[in-house]
C-alpha cells in the first residue's frame, strides 16, 4: 500500500502560524526521506487553526526542499478562482518541478460563509450559480489544450508552455464529488477525515461509473484518513486529546483557534470513553488512534475492504516532534522503503 500525507499546517497553541509553516517544511523533508508517495497541502481561510490559505505558495517551497516525493494541493478550492489562473499557477509549478506536481481540486469553501463572500470578486447580492462542473471542464481544457476549435479560449497559450502537466485529482467527501470525478475521468481522493458518512458508497460509485479509457489515471483512488500513532496506546490517546478538545470547542461555537496543548485538553474533554463525537457517522471513525501494530492492522483492513490504491494520512497533534514520529511509526508499520535524499 502506498502511503501519502495531507498536511493542514496546524498551528499549535503557544506557537505562531510561521512556526506551523516551518513545521510543514520539516515534515515534508521527513516524508521524502521516509518514502511517502505524495505530500499534499490543504487550503483553509481566515482561521487560527491552520496556517495555509495558499497551497500553491507552500508547494513551491516544499518541492524545493525535497527531491523525490510528489507535492500538491489538497486541495485548491476552485470556486474561488479563475480556472486560467489555477492552470497558470500549476503549469508554473510543473515547469519548475516536472513529474512531481499534483493538482488536487476541491469544491468546498475552505472557510466560513463570510470568508467565501470576502474571496468573491463580485459581491453583488445576486445568487452566485454553482458552476463547478463548467469551471472544472474549463480548467482541464486549459491544462490539456483541448478547447473546441470554435471556442475563443482555444487561442490562449497557457504559459509556461511545457510538455506534460500536473497530475489532476478531484477531492471530495460526498456522493456529488464521486459522480463528478467519474464524469471527468480523473482520479478521486475521498476525504474520510472530513466526513466519513459516504466513504464506501462514494468510492464504490466512482469505481463503477468512471470510464477507465478517460486517461491513464482514471479509476485510481486515494482514501484520506486521520491517524495518530505512538509507541503506546496511552500516549496515542493523550496526543489525540488535543484534536478532541479542538473539535469540542468548534461544536460549541468556540471558534477555530490553535490546536490545544494535550495537558490542557485532557482536563477539558475527560476520558475517551465519554467522548460522543457526532462527526463519527460512518463505518469507521474519522481518526484512527493507537500503536503501530494496531494502526497497521486497522488501516490495512479498511483499505483492503475498500480496494483503494493509496492511503493518505492527516495527523493533527499539538507537538510537532510527535507528529513527525507518528508518520515515522506508520512508515515502519507499512514497511515502506526509505529513500536516499
- At residue 149, the pLDDT reads 83
| Residues spanned by the domain of 150 | 2-334
Tell me how far CA of residue 206 lies from CA of 92, 175, 181, 246, 314, in angstroms.
30, 9, 7, 32, 22
Band of residue 275 on the pLDDT scale cut at 50, 70, 90: low
- Which pairs count as long-range contacts for 205-214, CB under 8 Å and 24+ apart, including other chains? 205/175, 205/178, 205/179, 206/178, 206/179, 206/181, 206/182, 207/307, 209/178, 209/179, 209/182, 210/181, 210/182, 210/185, 211/182, 211/185, 214/184, 214/185, 214/186
- 276 band by pLDDT with thresholds 50, 70 and 90: low
205: domain CATH number is 3.20.20.30
Whether residue 291 is contained in a domain is answered as: yes
pLDDT at 81: 93
Instruction: State the angle between helix axes of 132-144 and 175-184 in degrees (0 to 180), rounded to the nearest 10.
Output: 30
Compute the distance between CA of residue 291 and CA of residue 289 in angstroms, rounded to an integer: 7
Does position 38 have pLDDT exceeding 50, yes or no?
yes
Query: Mean pLDDT across the stretch 320-333?
Result: 98
Q: Following DSSP, what letter does each residue of 72-125 receive, concatenated?
A: EES-EEGGGS-HHHHHHHHHHHHHHSTT-EEEEEE-S-SS-HHHHHHH-S--SS
Q: Looking at the 3D structure of the chain, how many domains does it have? A: 1
Average pLDDT over residues 306-329: 98
Q: Supply 261's cell numbers.
A: 496543548
Cβ(261)–Cβ(242) below 8 Å: yes
Q: Looking at the predicted structure, is the pLDDT value of residue 312 above 90?
A: yes
Residue 271: the pLDDT is 66
pLDDT reading at 145 higher than 90: no
Instruction: Please tell me the predicted confidence (pLDDT) of residue 51.
Output: 96
CA dist 279 to 231, 253, 285, 290, Å? 27, 15, 8, 19
In this prediction, residues 173-192 reach a mean pLDDT of 97
**Residue 270 pLDDT class (50, 70, 90 cuts):** confident
Give pLDDT, residue 274: 45
Contact 71, 39 (CB under 8 A): yes
Q: Residue 1 has which C-alpha cell? A: 500500500
- Residue 253 included in any domain: yes
Higher pLDDT, 33 or 250: 33
Per-residue confidence (pLDDT) for residue 251, from 0 to 100: 85
| Span 40-75, pLDDT tens digits | 999 999 999 999 999 999 999 999 999 999 999 999
| Least confidently predicted of 108-122, 214-228, 317-331 | 108-122
**Each residue's pLDDT tens digit, 202-252:** 999 999 999 988 888 999 999 999 999 999 999 999 999 999 999 988 888
Within-domain flag for 67: yes
Which residue is associated with the grid cell 468548534? 250
Q: How far apart are CA 8 and CA 192, in angstroms?
A: 14
Average pLDDT, the chain: 92
Q: Binning pLDDT at 50, 70 and 90, where does residue 123 land?
A: low
Cα angle, residue 281 at apex, residues 279 and 282 outer, rounded to 5°: 130
Grid cell, residue 49, equals 487553526
Comparing CA positions, the residue from 238, 174, 231 lying closest to residue 201 is 174
Average pLDDT over residues 175-186: 96
* Cross-strand bridge partners of residue 101: 71
d(CA 309, CA 333): 17
Alpha-carbon distance of 202 to 192, in angstroms, equals: 10
Domain assignment present for 275: yes
**Mean pLDDT confidence for 100-123:** 82
Amino acid at each position: 500500500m502506498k502511503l501519502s500525507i495531507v498536511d493542514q499546517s496546524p498551528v499549535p497553541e503557544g506557537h505562531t502560524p510561521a512556526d506551523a509553516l516551518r513545521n510543514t517544511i520539516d515534515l515534508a523533508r521527513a516524508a521524502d526521506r521516509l518514502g511517502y508517495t505524495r505530500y499534499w497541502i490543504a487550503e483553509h481561510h481566515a482561521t487560527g487553526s491552520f496556517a495555509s490559505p495558499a497551497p500553491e505558495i507552500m508547494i513551491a517551497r516544499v518541492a524545493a526542499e525535497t527531491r523525490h516525493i510528489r507535492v500538491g494541493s489538497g486541495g485548491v478550492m476552485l470556486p474561488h478562482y479563475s480556472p486560467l489562473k489555477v492552470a497558470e499557477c500549476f503549469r508554473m509549478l510543473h515547469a519548475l518541478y516536472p513529474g512531481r506536481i499534483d493538482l488536487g481540486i476541491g469544491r468546498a469553501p475552505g472557510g466560513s460563509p463570510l470568508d467565501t463572500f470576502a474571496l468573491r470578486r463580485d459581491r453583488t447580492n445576486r445568487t452566485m450559480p454553482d458552476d463547478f462542473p463548467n469551471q472544472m471542464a474549463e480548467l482541464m481544457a486549459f491544462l490539456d489544450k483541448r478547447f473546441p476549435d470554435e471556442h475563443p479560449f482555444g487561442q490562449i497559450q497557457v504559459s509556461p508552455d511545457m510538455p506534460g502537466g500536473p497530475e489532476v485529482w478531484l477531492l471530495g467527501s460526498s456522493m456529488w464529488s464521486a459522480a463528478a470525478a467519474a464524469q471527468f475521468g480523473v482520479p478521486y481522493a475521498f476525504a474520510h477525515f472530513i466526513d466519513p458518512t459516504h466513504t464506501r458508497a462514494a468510492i464504490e460509485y466512482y469505481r463503477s461509473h468512471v470510464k477507465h479509457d478517460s486517461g491513464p489515471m482514471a479509476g485510481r483512488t486515494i482514501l484520506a484518513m486521520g491517524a495518530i500513532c505512538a509507541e503506546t496506546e496511552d500516549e496515542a490517546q493523550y496526543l489525540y486529546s488535543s484534536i478532541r478538545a479542538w473539535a469540542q470547542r468548534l461544536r460549541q461555537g468556540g471558534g477555530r483557534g490553535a490546536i490545544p496543548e494535550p495537558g490542557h485538553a485532557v482536563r477539558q474533554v475527560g476520558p475517551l470513553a465519554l467522548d460522543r463525537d457526532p462527526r463519527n457517522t460512518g463505518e469507521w471513525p474519522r481518526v484512527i488512534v493507537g500503536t503501530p501494530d494496531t494502526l497497521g492492522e486497522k488501516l490495512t483492513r479498511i483499505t483492503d475492504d475498500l480496494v483503494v490504491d493509496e492511503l493518505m494520512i492527516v495527523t493533527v497533534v499539538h507537538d510537532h516532534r510527535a507528529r513527525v514520529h507518528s508518520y515515522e511509526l506508520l512508515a515502519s508499520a507499512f514497511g515502506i522503503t526509505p529513500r536516499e535524499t
